[in-house]
Structure 1
Amino acid sequence: MSDIVVFANTAITIVGVVVLILKAKVSPAIALVVGALYLGLVCGLGPEQTLTSITTGFGDLMAEVGLLIAFGVLLGSLMTELGAIEKLVALLVRAFGPRALPYAFGGTVGTVLQSIFADALLVITAPLASRLSRRIGPHGVARMCAAMALGIEVGLVFVLPGVGAVALAGVMNLSFGTMFVFGVIVAVFTIVTTLALFTALAKRGLWNPELDETTEAPVVEDTERPDDRDERSLPRLRFSLAPLALALALIAVGAIADMLGVTSPVIDLLGNPVVALLLGLIGALVVARVTLPADRSATAFRRGFHDSGQILILTGVGGSLAQTVKDIGLGEVLKGYFSTSTVLPLLLVWLVAAVLHVAIGSVVLASITAAGVLGPVMPLLGIDPVFVALAAGAGSLFAIHATSNTFWLLQTLLPQTTRGALKSVTLTVSCASVIAMVPIQLLALVF
């Protein structure tokens, strides 16, 4: 089959998936499977091999990331019930002054708190960010709104166990330790640099408090997450946060040991992200059983299972499309069109993810689709797959706008108008999408 036919059918598949989602209002999970089915059949795989590719891609990815996503979301749900987030933010307020607080807040949301499902994390932390924004001086609202958006979105695609980062690592068959280390580096650089840029622009007239801020306090309409809990009934921060801190510490140790070539049965076991999150989950459950009524723990688990189900299905069918793309030989076809330079191939990954996100509005779906389509060719060019995953994640952050549920949550839960959200969310996260490519390209050249 000619290269042009392979390219054309791959493009038709991507466009078709977008049309099914946007125009026909088909579920993304169904649209991705239909796209994979079409691509396999028209590119000569045949019915049997096409179905094998779809099921193999789904199964292999679930085997890689299924437990990690489930344990991460359940751990985050228990952390929410234990009040760990509110107490951690209170600690940040005491430890950092007004000038540094937005950086600390955005960095914490984008790294430490990524085990918590994004919508739940936003609902819990946005009211805290809203209250703090009025207490940190000029442009406090602008800075906290931007910090909130950056922490949620950047952490989602770069930092394990963020759902996007886990899905990307699974699609690219990456070591979770490698993804964790490089993802944290890119995320912290991106959040701090972008927030500094936004702060400078806000001070020079980008942000107009009269037009970009609201005067009334945002209302959180989420009865499942009790905001009126008696703080005295919740455990102290060191107890409520200890399970999450343990899990992240074990993942970090395992990642560093893997990069240094240190092998040990104990480190290999405890440093495995699945085992680390399982231990954190067990620890959180013990703390919850000791300090909270039994029904509160059960409620947290029900919420976690509900949140993780939709993530698992969407991630799995993304793996189906990626496997089909690999089996039709797109990687070998693309190989002949690139030099050994890392710059242009990674920029292409970024561009495809950005275009998909603008069309679909889903960060996770755009990133894993771009990585799945272009990932197979990158090892042939000598590019480490981790940078493909990071570039896809960076591209998927571009132009978060009105098609995104997160955009409207950030607008309504924070003291900003829609005009303000276009600046603190759309503009700022789009800048982060571009800025993130700087450390990604530099790291790709070094490693």
Structure 2
Amino acid sequence: MSDTAILINTAVAIVAIVVLIVRFKLNPLIALVMGACYLGLATGLGAGGTVDTVSAGFGDIMAEIGLLIAFGVLMGAVLRDLGAIERLVDKLLHALGPRGVPHGMALTITTFLQSIYLDVLLVISAPLARGIAPRLGKYGTARMATALAIGLECGIVFTIPGVGALALAGLLEVSLGKYLLFGLLVVIPTVAIAITVMTFVLTRGWWKPELDEQAAGPDTPAGATAAPSAERPDASEPDTTAEERTTVSASGGVSTMAEPRTRKQPSLALLFAPLALALLLVATGAITEVANWSNPVVAFLSTPTVALLIGLVGTCVIGRYVMGQPAVEESLASGLRQSGQILLLSGVGGSLAAVIDAAGLGDILGKYLSAATWAPLLVVWLIAAVLHVAVGSVTISAITAAGLLAPVAPSLGLDPVLIALAAGAGSLFMVHLTSNTFWLLQSLMGQTTRGTLKTCSVGVSVASVIAMGPILLLSVFL
């Protein structure tokens, strides 16, 4: 088949996936599989070859990242029910003061809390951020909402074990240790600079509280939809081991309420120690690889699957001590329910990538994108950005863009980690009305749709553009 025919059929498949998701509200899982099947049949793989390629692609990516996603989400579910996030935000408030909290909270979320499923992390952190907002003055809501949006979305694609980051690393065959290190080099300056830029713009007259914040009723502020029970959506029994419970008052403030306890609440450092150990082990593996030093024990423990398993076991042990075994089992069951869709979407992203590879698209695109080092990265960013604007999902657009471009990486002479990071950056562009995060931020932070477009859509888009700065800088050295 000619190069032109392959390009046209690939474009048709991608457009069809977008139309099925956006126009006909078809589940993304089904739409991606249908697009992969069409492309296989249209490019001459045949019925049997198409099915085999789709199945093999799904299996390959699951073998690469399936356990990692599951372990990360399960760890996050236990940490959520331990109340670790509320306590961490409280520590940040005391350590940094109100003015430093937006940067501190966003950087903590984007670098350290990505094992927690995004919607759950948002439901936990937004009421706390809303309670802090009045202490920041007139623009408190705008600053905290922007910090949450940028921190949450950037973490998904840049930080291990964020689900988007795991999928990108798996599809482009980047070691997780390497992705972790380079992702941090990109995400930390990106989040810090983006929040600073947005704070400057919002506080120079662009944010209008009377138009951008929902008016509160006589008893309950608009947007205060996250009742205290929503912070622990899967807990069926009260946590009687906690020394204090963070709650959101009717006015949006944060207060603490003493509760009965049967065991001493462990320190915050102990709660997060297993997660920190897991990330440290993964990073150690990357460092030893770069240093060309090997040790069988270190090699085994720093394997991402083993490292995250150690983190999960350690978190469960602490959870059992604090909450009891039944509560830990309930947390794990909740985590398994959350991880199912993530695993399936990542798997079908692998299916699409496998079909694109088998169709020979990599060689074709390589001819057009290999003229310079920086130009292909901008094309990667643009493809992911267009997909995100059309589909409205950061994870789906990142996975689809990575799957489309994975076969191209060898012919470009680029380090695959750069392509993965550029796809992640592009997938952040213009979080808008089709995103669940958009509406959660609107309601939980008490914003109008106009206000959420400023803090979430524009804020994350600024981060998307800024991220290309460190990525292009890294391309000079890799």
Aligning the two structures, in what range does the TM-score lie when normalised by the shorter sequence? over 0.9
Match in the other structure for 2:308: 277
Per the TM alignment, residue 195 of structure 1 is displaced from its structure 2 partner at its CA by 0.3
Amino acid at match of 2:182: F
Aligned partners of 2:370 and 2:411 also within 8 Å: no
1:142-153 to structure 2, matched below 5 A, reads: 142-153=142-153
Residue 45 (structure 1) aligns with: 45
Paired residue for 2:368, among 337, 340, 347? 337
Q: What's the Cα RMSD here?
A: 1.6
Q: Aligned equivalents of 2:149 and 2:423: distance in 1?
A: 19
Matches within 5 A, 1:114-193: 114-193=114-193
Work out whether residues 21 and 28 of structure 1, in 8 Å CA contact, stay in contact via their aligned partners in 2. Answer: yes
Distance 1:138 1:254, change over 3 A: farther
Provide the C-alpha distance between the structure 2 equivalents of 1:393 and 1:173, rounded to a whole number of angstroms: 15
Match of 2:419 in 1: 388
Percent identity, aligned pairs only, is 51
- In structure 1, the residue matched to 2:226 is 220
Whole-angstrom CA distance in 2 between matches of 1:35 and 1:130: 41
Classify 1:334/1:424 alpha carbon distance in 2 versus 1 (closer, same or farther; 3 Å).
same
Distance 1:301 1:192 in 2: 33
What is the SS of the residue equivalent to 1:116? coil
Match of 2:74 in 1: 74
Q: Give CA-to-partner distance per residue, 1:17-46, whole Å, 9 cap, x none.
A: 111112222211111111111111111112
Shift of 1:176: 0.5
The 2-side partners of 1:419 and 1:400 are apart by 13
Confirm whether residue 303 of structure 1 aligns to residue 334 of structure 2: yes
For each residue in 1:77-124, what CA deviation from the matched residue of structure 2 results, as whole angstroms up to 9, or x when unmatched?
Answer: 001111111111111111112332211110000010001111111111
Q: Is the 8 A contact 1:395 1:433 kept in 2?
A: yes
Report how many aligned residue pairs link the two structures. 447
Q: 1:265 to 1:385 in 2, by over 3 A?
A: same
Q: For the residues of structure 1 that align with 2:20 and 2:138, how far apart are their CA atoms?
A: 46
1:377 aligns with 2:377: no
- Equivalent-residue separation in structure 1 for 2:238 and 2:213 (angstroms): 26
Q: Residue 172 of structure 2 contacts residue 417 of structure 2 at CA under 8 Å; is this kept in 1?
A: yes
Provide structure 2 residue ranges, at least 5 long, that are not aligned to the other structure.
244-260
**What residue ranges of structure 1 are gaps of 5+ in the alignment?**
none
Contact preservation (8 Å) 2:13, 2:39: yes
TM-score by length of 2: 0.91
Q: Could you tell me which residue of structure 2 aligns to residue 431 of structure 1?
A: 462
Answer yes or no: is the 8 Å Cα contact 1:177–1:258 preserved in 2. no
- Paired residue for 2:54? 54
Aligned residue number for residue 261 of structure 1: 292
Structure 1 contact 92–101 (Cα < 8 Å) conserved = yes
SS at match of 1:164: helix
Is contact 1:98-1:137 (8 Å) kept? no
Structure-2 residue corresponding to 1:19: 19
TM-score (norm 1): 0.97
Amino acid at match of 1:220: A
Match of 2:267 in 1: 236
Q: Counterpart of 1:161 in 2: which secondary structure?
A: coil
Q: How far apart are 1:353 and its partner, in Å?
A: 0.9
